[in-house]
Amino acid sequence: MFAYISRLFRRTRPEVPTTRSSAPRAGVRHTDGAPLAYRPELVAELTHEHRLLESSFASLVAAHRGNDVEACIFRLTAFTNILRAHLLKENLQLYRYLRHAFPGDQSAAARTHALRAEMQEIGKALNAFANAYLGATWDEHRRRRLGRDLNEMGQILAQRIATEESALYPLYLPPKRS
């Protein structure tokens, strides 16, 4: 079900530097002219949300291992809600800022664009995953399939979190004061 997303992470990626030699320019603005505010606490919030996602996912796995269908549905709903809120925050605050913060740095723009496109694909797959189980009748076959899907989704989630924390979040820097 998630082979496409798995292939995203099996590709060989070029080395992505984790530090930047220059900060974004001051007064970063969206194309509509509205300022894009830098929020010093954003990366800490997003990193904290990663820990919540990991914990929520672990609770879902535990419910599955305990053969508790009601708990699985509850935990899957909670995980999905946390994930969707996290993705929305990243899209509206992190990626939007980064898209406009480095107009002269093609390398940073390309990395940001690639990571955002990848995250959108992962988000679609995770939504499909959640919808496949939340909107279906549960039987033994579906329960076994969930176990296989959870293994794959756990690997995808762990790899994506590691990528964001090592390659994406270090790009989020305050603007230079001119």
Tens-of-pLDDT digits for all 178 residues of the chain? 445 444 434 433 434 444 444 445 445 555 555 557 899 999 999 999 999 999 999 999 999 999 998 999 999 999 999 999 999 999 899 998 988 887 788 888 888 888 889 888 888 888 888 888 888 888 888 888 999 999 999 998 999 999 999 989 998 988 875 4
Angle, vertex CA 49, rays to CA 118 and CA 100, nearest 5:
50
27 torsion bin: left (phi>0), alpha (psi -120 to 50), beta (else): left
Taking the C-alpha atoms of residue 103 and residue 60, their distance in angstroms, rounded to an integer, is 42
The secondary element (H helix, E strand) that includes residue 75 is helix 69-89
Q: Are 82 and 56 in contact (CB under 8 A)?
A: yes
Q: What is the pLDDT of residue 49?
A: 98
pTM score = 0.78
Q: What is the pLDDT of residue 177?
A: 58
Q: Which residue has the tokens 């797959």?
A: 125
Q: What is the pLDDT of residue 13?
A: 41
Q: What is the pLDDT of residue 33?
A: 54
Taking the C-alpha atoms of residue 87 and residue 89, their distance in angstroms, rounded to an integer, is 5
Taking the C-alpha atoms of residue 9 and residue 67, their distance in angstroms, rounded to an integer, is 30
**Distances in whole angstroms, Cα of residue 70 to Cα of each of 57, 67, 77, 111, 137:** 15, 9, 11, 41, 12
What is the identity of the amino acid at 6?
S
**Distances in whole angstroms, Cα of residue 155 to Cα of each of 38, 72, 75, 83:** 31, 19, 18, 15
Angle, vertex CA 118, rays to CA 113 and CA 13, nearest 5:
85
User: What's the length of the chain?
Assistant: 178
